[in-house]
Amino acid sequence: MHIDLPEKLYYSIGEVAKAFGVNASLIRFWEKEFDVIQPKKNAKGNRKFTPEDIKNLELIYHLVKERGFTLEGAKVHLKEEKKKTLSNFEIIRKLQLIRAELVKIKDNL
């Protein structure tokens, strides 16, 4: 899954939930469960997620939704192998984007 969000400094929880195709309650739940997700909160208490939060959410989504990790398994995996997992994850995402572009080019031939 590729998350398609415009480049901004902060994203609302609604934007994040829509980009991931999940309920805002799941994003709030992951925020409580994974300490790598720490959105800022404004005076009203509304969450503002940074691009770094989005990257961490993508990684959590990948582990839990795409690879079938339990929450505990994902926590352990992130703690013990975050750099390796993040590197592999970024490579996979780049390859998926390249593939999508090549398919688009092929379709236009």
Question: Which pTM value belongs to this model?
Answer: 0.70
Task: State the CATH number of the domain containing residue 56.
Answer: 1.10.1660.10
Asked if the structure places residue 4 within a domain, the reply is no
Total domains present in the chain: 1
Contacts of 84 (CB under 8 A, 6+ apart): none
> How many CB atoms neighbour CB 71 within 10 A?
14
In the 8-state DSSP scheme, what is residue 47?
Answer: E
Q: Which domain holds residue 19?
A: 11-107
Question: Which candidate, 34, 33, 31, places its Cα nearest to that of 16?
Answer: 31
Asked if the structure places residue 77 within a domain, the reply is yes
From first to last of its 109 residues, what are the pLDDT tens digits of the chain? Answer: 557 677 888 999 999 999 999 999 999 999 999 988 999 998 998 999 999 899 889 889 989 998 899 999 999 888 777 666 667 777 777 888 888 889 999 898 8
